[in-house]
Each structure stands twice: as structure tokens, then as C-alpha cells.
Amino acid sequence: MKHKKILLLLLFLTLGIPILSKFATAYGWTYSGVHFNIGTEVSDPREITWDGTHFWVLDYGGAVYGSIGEVYQYTSAGVYTGVHFAVQDYPVGITWDGTYFWIVADVSYEVYQYTSAGVYTGVHWDIGTEDTSPKGITWDGTYFWVISASTDEIYKYYSNGIYTGDHFDVALETYSPTGITWDGTYLWILERNRICKHYSNGTFTGAYFWVGDQDIHQRGITWDGTYFWVVGEQLLEVYQYQYTSDSDEPPIDWDIVIIILIIILCILEFSGFIYANHRYSWFKNFQRKRRAKVREKELKAHKFQNLLIKSKELDEKANIFYSKGKFTDAIGIWKEVIDKYNLASKKASTNDEKESIKKNLKVIKNNICKSYIENGKYHVLIAK
């Protein structure tokens, strides 16, 4: 028994500590202590962009009546300039391409173009075929990149808005991405409290840094050429992050890790630590894992159906409130329905199921829009 414990300790020291340290170490960037407040103007920030001179913060909170949001301008020192402009259709993302602003909308699944003065040009393009829950957008000088919170995918578009067919998954390193920016070489994906670094082809570099100590609900990120700036939804502050390391740690060499693991397993096998009887044989372990995967698949399908049933029940309840003129209650329930449909979309196993959820989401979001409008009319009547 003693030699088995020693072998386990060796296994942990050889593989466990190096691997854990790679995943647990946030390197390269840290909070500089610089920040500025946006709470006087903004109530529900969604994203931030930099035009070379000013910061622009997108406020979803302005979309309470009629789905109109606002974009506010700040100096490089974080002082509000007094300049702002309205944007339509439940805006959730903003980027600057050097000439125009581009706003991604949550309800219509469209990307809209605005001039530097904040005037809508009439130019727009659709992203609904790829994504029904966009959360952010960035421009790399050649292509646009749009985040999907429902699929955890990043989609790539030409400058004219045509989908390139390229996309990459970030589900392994992020959960529900909320922001994206380009630093000239890499894409950086914000996941509420940490930021992950990706190559331009979408491959995760293994590098990330932590931003959750300043605000547990970070919503948007931008790069100004020297620093990263992240906007926090909870405290309504914009935080600056500076480079503090000379170089990133090299990523894990998985070939070497696998070779070492095989060697250690062979040592354990011949030492008698891995029993050769049927109960603990490799074949039995394989069968057990296979049955577990089948069971997991069945549970996933069951959860998917339960989510659909619960979503429909809540939708019916919201419709009842809407018919009685209780618009605020209806909106609250419909927002819960959206969350459940987005979760169901992640668990959907076919494209038909995802397409059906997409259609339902569009109806729900339109209902929310109508409720805000009706609620606004109601308050106007009371005022009169």
C-alpha cells in the first residue's frame, strides 16, 4: 500500500501541479488602478469601443421604451463630453472601423452602420442565420467578428456583412462570452470575469487574465493600442488593464504530457496498483464510461424537453399578464423565458430544434418590445 501512495504522489507532482499551474495562472495583464465612472449617464452598459481619440460606451438601459439605446462619448481620461446618440433595436454590441460605428442588435439579429456623428446610414446586414443571441462585435481591419452567447461561437464576416463561413468555438475556455476586441494580432474574448487570448484562426493560446476582482459582471472590452479597457455592469465603472509580464508562459506541450502519462500508467500497471481482475480491468472501465455517456445523453434530452415545457408555460403566463395590462410583470417573465430558450438551444441536438427555438425567441423579444411601448403609453395616460 505504501508504494502505491508514493506512485500516486509522483503522478501528482509530475503531471498534476504543472497542469494545474498552467490553468490557474493568469499572466501578462493586471489591473492598473486606473478607472472612470459612467453611472451618471449609463444604467445598463453592454460594450465599449475606442475610436483613436475617445471611448464610446453602449447603454442598453436606454432601450426601456421603444427599444432605443444610447451611445455616450468619453475622453481618454474618462470625462463625459456631453456627446451621445441614439441607436435602435435593443443594441448589445459596438465597434469602430476607422470610419463608421457598427451596432449589433439583439432582437432583429442585424448589424447597423452609423456615421461618426451617430447618424444611421441605412446600411445593415443580417446575422440571424448564424446567431440568435449576439453579445458583442469587433473589427480587425479586414473582418468583423460577432459573439454568440447561445452557441458560444465566434462568427466571422466580410466587410460587406457577408458571412465567411468561418467560426470557432470558445465553450471550453469561456461560459457565456460577453465581449470581444482585437489588438492587431490576437482576438481577446471577455467572459464576465476573465479575458481569454485567441489566435486569429480562433485557436485558444492558453493565455488569459482575471478581471473579476474589479466587477463580478464585466460586460464589454476594447483595446486602445496600449491598454485594455473593460466596462463593469454592476459598479458602472470602466477599468484599465496594463501589461506587466515580459512574456507569456509557453502553452502546455500535450505530446510530452501524454507520453509521461503513458509511462506512469505502465509503471502503475506492472506494480499491481491497477488491478487485473474483471472489476477493475481496462475493458470494464471502458464499458462503464460508455454506459455513462449514453445515460448522460438521455438526461440531456430529458432536460431539453423540460426546458421547452417550462418555457411554454412561462410564455402563457406572460401572455395572461400582458392581456391584463400588467406589462412589467409580463416583461419579467418573458426575460426568464429567453434565458430558458437560450439554455435549451445549447442542449438542442438537431438544427430543426435550434431553428424552432430561434423563431420562438424572435416572437418573445418582439412581445417584450410591444410591452415596453404599451407600458410607456400607460404611464403617459396616468401623467395626463
Q: How much is the average pLDDT of 189-214? A: 91
Domain with CATH 1.20.58.80 in the chain: 278-383
Above 90 in pLDDT, residue 245? no
SS3 content of the chain, % helix, strand, coil (to 5): 40, 30, 30
- Rounded to whole angstroms, the Cα distance separating 143 from 149 reads 20
Rounded to two decimals, the pTM is 0.61
**Model confidence at 376, in pLDDT bands (50, 70, 90)?**
low
Q: How confident is the model at residue 254 (pLDDT cuts 50, 70, 90)?
A: low
Torsion of CA 297, 300, 301, 303, to 10 degrees: 160
Is pLDDT at 382 greater than 50 in this prediction? no
Judged by average pLDDT, the poorest of 169-178, 197-206, 283-292 is: 283-292
Return left, alpha or beta for 69; rule: phi > 0 is left, psi -120 to 50 is alpha, else beta: beta
pLDDT at 249: 47
Average pLDDT over residues 90-112: 93
pLDDT value of residue 299: 56
Q: What topology does CATH give the domain 26-243?
A: Neuraminidase (2.120.10)
DSSP 61: G
- Domain 278-383: give its CATH code: 1.20.58.80
Q: In what order do the strands lie in the sheet with 153-157?
A: 134-139, 144-148, 153-157, 163-169
Q: Where in the chain is the domain with CATH 2.120.10.30?
A: 26-243
Q: Report residue 43: phi and psi, to 5°.
A: -115, -25
- Report which of 303, 325, 306 is spatially closest to residue 381, judged by C-alpha positions: 325
End-to-end CA distance of the chain: 84
